[in-house]
Structure formats: structure tokens, C-alpha cells
Chains A and B, each alone.
Chain A
Amino acid sequence: MIEFHLDRGSGVATYLQLVHQVRHALRLGALRPGDRLPTAKEVVAQLTINPNTVLKAYRELEREGLVVGRPGLGTFVERSLGETSMSDRVRLRAELVQWVRNGRQAGLDQEDMRALVATVLGDMFREEIA
């Protein structure tokens, strides 16, 4: 079972925080196929958040095919993340190393690059959900 936590005031929508935490747990193997996610009421009792937000997060996860809702029983993990991407990861890491080298040559320091990555990540994911 996953226990959610919230970073209030982070600017990230609450339902997205829940989605990210489930994805993260799937990647780390903390959640596996067949595991039940907490019910909206359980999450609400723990975090004092709007149950609609929890349902919205679960709908999003369902849309991505990560979980499936079984009426009357709860929401269950359908598949996990990250198992097939070992080779992808190696490749992506190599690309990122190259990008950082390019950045240093262009005169960016560590903080510049971090800001740039954060901006791009923010923009990309916001576009995806908007």
C-alpha cells in the first residue's frame, strides 16, 4: 500500500502530485501489479484533501493504463513501470551527459543548467496535461 504525502504550495496541482507518487512507487517497485491503491476516503482521512482530487488522479492513472478501477472493490495496479527501460535509460543518460558537456562549453554553470532543465520539464509536462 502506498502512503501519499503532499507538498502544499509547490504550485503542482494536488492530483498531479498523487499521480507522480504512484508512478514513482511503480518505478521503485514499491507498488506492484495487483496491489490495491487506498480508497478516496482513506486518502482524504490521511491528507485532508478533496476526494474529487483523488478520483481525478486515479482516472489519470487509469487513462495511462497503470491502474484499473474495479467497482465495489477498489483501484488496483495493472502494470508496473520502468522494467523494460534499462537499455533506454543507458541511452538517455549518455545523451544527457553529452548535453551537459555542451552546456559547459557554452559557459553555463550547474545552476544555469538546472534552471533550464526545470523550465523545460515544467513546460513539457504542463503541455501534456493542459
Chain B
Amino acid sequence: MTPALEATGLGMRYRRTWALRDCSVAVPSGRVAALVGPNGAGKTTLLHLAVGMLAPATGEVRVFGRPVRESMERIAFLAQSKPLYAGFRVEEMLRFGRELNPRWDGAAARRRLADLGIPLDRRVGRLSGGQRTQVALTVALAKRPDLLVLDEPLADLDPLARDDVMRGLMEAVAETGLTVLLSSHVVSELEGVCDWLVVVNGGRIQVSGDIDELVAGHRLLTGPAETADALAARMPVVSRGGAGRQATMLVRDATPPLDPRWTARPVNLEETVLAYLRAPDLAALPRPSLASAR
């Protein structure tokens, strides 16, 4: 199956510094993928490359198997600032979408705004932050994209608006089966929402894969410190901690430890991601042959 998004050998440089280097990553079709990483890790650059806002210095991005700039009918992008024309009325934003997109679904857009209680004759500049995001999301969804890319969609929204926006997005996924790629630096808000994870750290792809498999494939081991080295030699250790005679290790291994002095407990998404972010040299990437597998 052709991945919704596939980047190979992607690199981007601003003057002398590389914002992204040798990134190869795929998001399978139909997934809700999270792009996670510290601020300045290259998330926005990667997203801008994915929607053709930037041209890569090296490598290429393909969307459903075709170059990005030939696929703009199938891609929608919601930038971090939720750009809309402040002087336009909401209905004029819909007209904007209709004029510029052959696949435009105006009826669905009107329905969605009516459900949200956003008046069509309101000026965009007078909308609240949450409403603004909802209008921008409506414009993006009415394009009927197969891939929706969102840059920090929940940043600077209050908790209620966050839930509303995310629910709207999830309902759209349920209705249309579109692929979503969204960036965030708050891992906790992604749990339950995203099913695919891409971690970018220091301009490189560090983790890429199914979230359930990733989380289930890791566990936190606790046991006597003197046997820690022996155990660590047998399995990939993501992070190590502990004090005195007790050691803890977050390992990429799902089998229970044979040594009865060690206990294992499952980890959640946030623990796993944080452990990887603290160990930038460690990677959890699918084998190349599996990169595009569902």
C-alpha cells in the first residue's frame, strides 16, 4: 500500500545550519500520526516540506506516491498561526476555499460551522482563538484532503477548545478516513488520539512506528543494581536510572525478565517518548522493508 507520506533522504539547510538531515520516514495511509520533538527540532521544517511550502535541499517527499507539488489537491495544511484573512467574513473564507479548490465541499463546511455555532457573517478578526482554529480547520477539511497536515494545532487554545478541535478532527477522520499528520511538543495530549508516532530530534528522525506496538514493546525494569549490567547487555536499554542498590531501566524488550529479582511494569507513551528524547543517539525505526507497511 502506498504510504500517505514518504520522505527519503530529506535534508533542509538554512544558510549553514542543517534544520533537517537525512530524514527518511513514512506515514501509512489512514493513520493519525503525531510528529513529536523538542522545540527547534525541525518539526515545522519537516511539515513545511511535506506541504510544499519549502523545497528540500536534499531528498524528496512523496504524497500518495507522487511529488508534493503535484499533489496539492489532496493535501490540506493548517499552519501554526491558523492563518485566515482577518478582514474576511467567515462565509468569504468558504468562498476563498471554493474558488481555489476543485474538490471543495461547501455544504459540509456550512454544516460543520452551524454545528459549532459559528455565524457565517462574523468577521474572522472578531472570532475567538478556538473559533478561529475551527474555521481554519473547516476550510482545510472542506478541501476534502486525503492528507491533512497540522502544525501545533492545539497550541494557545484553552482546554475546552483543545478538546473541541481534537474531537472535530477525530470525527473527520471517522467520516472520511483521511490521513493526519500533526505536530506537538506536548506528548500527553496525543495519547488516545494518535496511532502513529514520529519523533524528530536534533534534525533527525529518532522514532517512527505504530504507537501501540511501540509502547507495548517497552517496559520499565526494576531490580538489584549489581545485576543491571548483565541484563543491559542482553537487551536495548533506552534509559537507565535508580539509586544505590536498586536500578531501573527502560528497555525495548517485551519479554518478562528471567531473573525473578527483577520486576517489569508497562510504560505509557509519554515515558517512552521522554526516554528517547533524553537519549538522542538512540533510534527506534522500522526496518526499511517495513517502513511503508501498515
Contact = CB atoms under 8 A, between A and B. Distances in A.
* Touching chains A and B, CB distance < 8 Å: yes
B30 A52 contact: yes
B225 interface: no
Nearest to A48: B167
Nearest to B217: A130
A12 B192 contact: no
Contacts, number: 81
B194 interface: yes
B193 interface: yes
A88 to B, nearest CB: 26
Nearest to B213: A130
A69 to B, nearest CB: 15
B290 to A, nearest CB: 16
Given A11-B268, A119-B264, A48 B166 contact: yes
Contact of B195 (A8, A10, A50): A50
Given A11-B267, A130-B216, A51 B188 contact: no
Interface stretch (B10-18, B53-61, B94-102, B170-178): B170-178
Nearest to B191: A8
Contact of A51 (B174, B254, B267): B174
A52 B173 contact: yes
Contacts of B30: 52
Contacts of B163: 48
Interface string B192-227: 111100000000000000001001110000000000
A49 B266 contact: no
Contact of A44 (B171, B215, B217): B171
B170 A49 contact: yes
B163, B194, B212, B255 pick with most chain A CB within 10 angstroms = B212
Q: Is the interface of A mostly helix, strand, loop or mixed?
A: helix
Contacts of B216: 13, 126, 129-130
A108 to B, nearest CB: 14
A122 B188 CA distance: 22
Interface string A106-127: 0000000001000100110011
Contacts of B215: 11, 13
B98 to A, nearest CB: 26
A21 interface: no
B49 interface: no
Q: How large is the interface on A (under 10, 10 to 19, 20 to 34, 35 or more residues)?
A: 20 to 34
A96 interface: no
A80 interface: no
Contact of A119 (B167, B174, B255, B265): B265
A45 interface: yes
B173 A49 contact: no
B43 to A, nearest CB: 20
Nearest to A123: B256
Contacts of A40: 174
A9 B193 contact: no
Given A13-B212, A50-B170, A52-B31, 15 more contacts: A9-B188, A11-B265, A11-B268, A39-B174, A40-B174, A41-B171, A44-B170, A44-B173, A44-B174, A45-B171, A49-B193, A50-B192, A56-B212, A123-B264, A127-B256
25 contacts: A8-B192, A10-B268, A11-B265, A11-B266, A11-B268, A12-B266, A13-B216, A14-B191, A15-B212, A39-B174, A41-B174, A44-B170, A45-B167, A45-B171, A49-B170, A50-B32, A50-B193, A50-B195, A52-B32, A119-B264, A119-B265, A122-B264, A127-B255, A127-B256, A130-B254
The 10 closest A-B pairs by CB, nearest first: A51-B174, A11-B268, A41-B174, A48-B167, A123-B256, A14-B192, A49-B192, A44-B170, A11-B266, A13-B212
